[in-house]
Amino acid sequence: MLDAAAGAAIDYLRGIGDRLVLPGQADVEHLAVLGGPLPDQPEDPVAVVELLARVGGGATVASTGPRYFGFVTGGTHPAALGAAWLAAAWDQNGAYDVMSPTAARLEEIAAGWVLDLLGLPADAAVGLVTGATMGNLAALAAARHALLARQGWDAEAQGLFGAPPVTVVVGEEVHVSLLKALALLGLGRERVVRVAADDQGRMRADARPPLDDRTVLCLQVGNVNSGASDPCAGLIRAAHEAGAWVHVDGAFGLWLAAAPSRRHQVAGVELADSWSTDAHKWLNVSYDSGLAICRHPDALRSAMAATGAAYLQVGGAREAEHHVPEMSRRARGIELWATLRSLGREGVAALVERTCGHARRFADGLTAAGFSVLNEVVANQVLVSFGARTPEVVAAVQADGTCWCGGTTWHGVPAMRISVSSWRTTEHDVVLSLEAIRRVATSVLGRGGAPGR
């Protein structure tokens, strides 16, 4: 069984750099053979996995390949993939220490390494969640707990009915997932106070409203379009003088702190009260892997622990369940540990530096070809305009299949977004992709036609 699966996985990854990034229409339609009525009779698992590899594999998006630049998407580092295979064979429940000492220790070790790499307080509490959305949720639940506890209100016991109000301040370009977290927490996605942003999408410190000790200020490092980071140091100091809680959404941008030449962009971020980040984006851990980090361990544990159930009060160990929304869950610290152990401090820094360098190459190549790069390329994100017909160019680049880039709107202008986040991307992949983008754009816009602005 495992030989069959491994063989199929190895074949898949051998070809990942050669296939078109998007599957063909025929492959997508072929997925229908996986459906039909639920079979009555059992089937050999090997046959099932072989069918899955053939039909399912054919209609995958090559997002783990070297030329996928959509959203902010890391590939799977080899150590993560190998560890994931083992983790699946072990099938450990990561909820409690007693369920898996291996899962519990690896989670603790990996959490400590992440705090060290990112320059965050060594005694912060860390929950390993599915991604930055749940990282935002868990961390903001801790903030909600702390701010209401100060006012004598027990949010977990009493809920929000009749609770004193909490104000949430966000930047104009807050990520939609943070608003989703606020909605889930009963804090309301439209109740937020929005602070104006500058031309790179950073919160404008001079536009910050007055804050107090009933306020959560949500900052962002790594704007999903421009890659720019809010000016953390000044904003966090001012917020703390007023007694506010500061949360930072750093889904990918927090990893700038792991690269010596980029760290200054997020200076002061370590002063915040809570952070959310992803391991499945820039760190290239397999899905799904994110972290909720909180300077105040009791706040996170009070918000997350299922203390109602007496049988769950086990020993003095760090219980994973007390740090995350889930109880039973896959032991996702295993892949995180393996990736960090394999890359090491220098490998993580090199991954961040290298992908930023590729983004720079994209920006330079596109500018040289006569297209407008819209953002200051400070990280791994590039926004390019092909004029009014940008959406057509984006669709044609996607259909061409050499690479995949997403469309976006940047300050009212349609743009194509290039995010270089994979360990697999080489300089050659950038050259191939630039050639394809130039060729496709020229053909859409008409030979010799100026792209316009």
Ligand X SMILES: *Cc1c(COP(=O)(O)O)cnc(C)c1O
Min separation Cβ 122 and ligand X, Å: 25
Q: Look up residue 31 and give its two tokens.
A: 């997925």
Min separation Cβ 197 and ligand X, Å: 13
Nearer to ligand X, 97 or 249 (CB): 249
Min separation Cβ 67 and ligand X, Å: 20
Find tokens 């935002």 and name the residue. Answer: 136
List C-alpha distances in Å: 297 to 93, 102, 123, 277. Answer: 23, 22, 8, 17
Find tokens 């899955």 and name the residue. Answer: 52
Nearer to ligand X, 133 or 433 (CB): 133
Min separation Cβ 359 and ligand X, Å: 15
List C-alpha distances in Å: 361 to 289, 354, 418. Answer: 29, 11, 11
List C-alpha distances in Å: 195 to 230, 398, 399. Answer: 11, 35, 38
Nearer to ligand X, 97 or 335 (CB): 335
Min separation Cβ 65 and ligand X, Å: 19
Contact 206, 232 (CB under 8 A): no
Nearer to ligand X, 269 or 396 (CB): 269
Nearer to ligand X, 219 or 343 (CB): 219
Give the total residue count for the chain. 453
Distance, in Å, from the CA atom of 175 to the CA atom of 238, rounded to the nearest integer, reads: 23
| Residue of closest CB approach to ligand X | 131
- For residue 317, the 8-state DSSP code is S
Nearer to ligand X, 405 or 445 (CB): 405
Cis peptide before 199 (omega within 30 of 0): no
Nearer to ligand X, 252 or 386 (CB): 252
Distance, in Å, from the CA atom of 78 to the CA atom of 342, rounded to the nearest integer, reads: 9
- 323: helix, coil or strand? helix
Q: Which residues bind ligand X (CB under 6 A)?
A: 72, 131-133, 175, 177, 220, 222, 224, 249, 251-252, 278, 290
- For residue 366, the 8-state DSSP code is H
Min separation Cβ 135 and ligand X, Å: 7
DSSP 182-227: HHHTTS-SSSPEEE-B-TTS-B-GGGPPP--TTEEEEEEBS-TTT-
Min separation Cβ 224 and ligand X, Å: 4
Nearer to ligand X, 170 or 444 (CB): 170
Min separation Cβ 133 and ligand X, Å: 3
Contact 273, 62 (CB under 8 A): no
